[in-house]
Amino acid sequence: MPIISSSLLSNLILLLPLIGLPATYAQTINSTNCPFRGDDRRYIMSMFAIDGGQNTEVVVSDTGLAYRQGDFGNRNGRCIEIVDRNRAEVEQKSKWNLLVLYRNVTTSGEIYFCMKFYWQSVNVIQYQLSGFYSTNQADAKAKCVLFEMNNRYSFAVVGFSRNYQSYNCKTIFEGVYWFTYQLKDSSRTPCDALNNEIKACQRAGSQERDNWITKITWGLCPGLAEMKDQGTQNYYCYGMWTDNNNNVYAAVGMDQGDIKFKYRCLVTRKDQNERSILYRWGMTVDADCSTLNSPDTSPMKLVLRPTLDSAEQVPQLKPGCNLPKNFTGVWFFPLSTRPTFTSTPPPSRCAGSWTSTSGRRC
């Protein structure tokens, strides 16, 4: 009878709970030990979310997880193992995803739970949280894999970073739009106030606020309930992502004291009629993104029509020379030399005062 080494036997014991899983899962599990390293560190984030209708704080570190929800929904987990990562699935929520097994440190005994993360941007992570598993580590790992497999079609809670990093709005809005809006629970026709406006205008070469802030002016209409977003508000762009059902999602934040209303989610469709000049979006009225299914069934419906800003856009349509704010760098010329342009301070117009290293003037 062949002798089995102790190391091989221990590995077989760890694999036994996975034997009943589908082959596509059991053969491709990509697990490593904690802490988070390399690209996995992108999931380290302090987030706010509305999970199950309740305000929730989630703090992910490289070695653990703190989950705060009211008085009875709190969890503190120590990272035990990264069970799986970057799994490619037909119903893909994000190509960057991570399945982590945690051991609950607030109770005695072996109590485990797992969380599946979907990284969408530097400011947005979606997650799915399992229940508790009172078992050994090997069995808890197998239950985590089953949890991942069974929740592929389930909603993933949207978490907004508490430490905002600038994100270019061009992936969400670009240009100036007049729009109408209508609340789902309102019987009134859409509000079509003349001063309804979305403005996301970026200046060439700018690294300033115009790149990561969208201004939205909400006009007032008779009979429309008061909203938190009335007047002109600055919305910080948090991220944009898509799914395989032609939905395009976006996340924004605003200067709002009540954290529940500080964040919003939006949704539109890739397959809108390209010949139409109208763009349909759906928007939440708070940070609860579970209510966002489609542009037509969202808590708030927006219909956008491109327009022009007479103060900023119309003058730029006239012949002229509008150069980037910062022209410093090496620029390719189809000549034998590559001139270097330097601007300090950067001029806003081509005034004939720039000279390249090759002697060419602007």
SS (H, E, C) the chain: CCCCCHHHHHHHHHHHHHCCCCHHHHCCCCCEECCCCHHHHHHCEEEEEEECCEEEEEEECCCEEEEECCCCCCEEEEEEEEEEECCCCCCCCCCCEEEEEEEECCCCCCEEEEEEEEEEECCEEEEEECCCEECCHHHHHHHHHHHHHHCCCCCCEEEEECCCCCCCHHHCCCEEEEEEEEECCCCCCCECCCCCEEEECCCCCCCCHHHCEEEEEECCCCCCCCCCCCEEEEEEEEEEEECCCCEEEEEEEECCCCHHHCEEEEEEECCCCCCCCCEEEEECCCCCHHHCCCCCCCCEEEEEEEECCCCCHHHHCCCCCCCCCCCCEECCCCCCCCCEECCCCCCCCCCCCCECCCCCEC
Name the token pair of 270: 């890739």
pLDDT at 207: 57
Task: Look at strands 175-183 and 263-269 and give their pairing.
Answer: unpaired
CA-to-CA dists, residue 2 to 14, 22, 137, 234, angstroms: 21, 29, 28, 71
Mean pLDDT by 10 residues, the chain (362 residues): 45 44 52 89 97 95 94 89 87 84 92 96 96 95 94 91 90 89 81 91 61 88 72 92 89 89 93 75 94 89 85 61 62 53 47 43 40
Contacts of 109 (CB under 8 A, 6+ apart): 134
Name the token pair of 95: 């190509």
Long-range contacts of 263-269 (CB under 8 A, 24+ apart): 263/48, 263/160, 263/238, 263/287, 264/235, 265/158, 265/289, 265/292, 266/172, 266/292, 267/292, 267/293, 267/294, 267/295, 267/298, 268/295, 269/294, 269/295
pLDDT at 356: 43
**Cis omega (within 30 of 0) for bond into 345:** yes
pLDDT at 240: 93
d(CA 147, CA 84): 12
Q: Name the amino acid, one letter, at 87.
A: R
Name the token pair of 129: 């949280």
* CATH code reported for the domain at 169-314: 2.40.128
d(CA 350, CA 320): 9
pLDDT at 54: 94
d(CA 80, CA 137): 9
For the chain, the structural domain boundaries read 6-161, 169-314, 321-362
Is the entire prediction scored with pTM above 0.85? Answer: no
Owner of token pair 């990093």: 165
d(CA 22, CA 310): 61
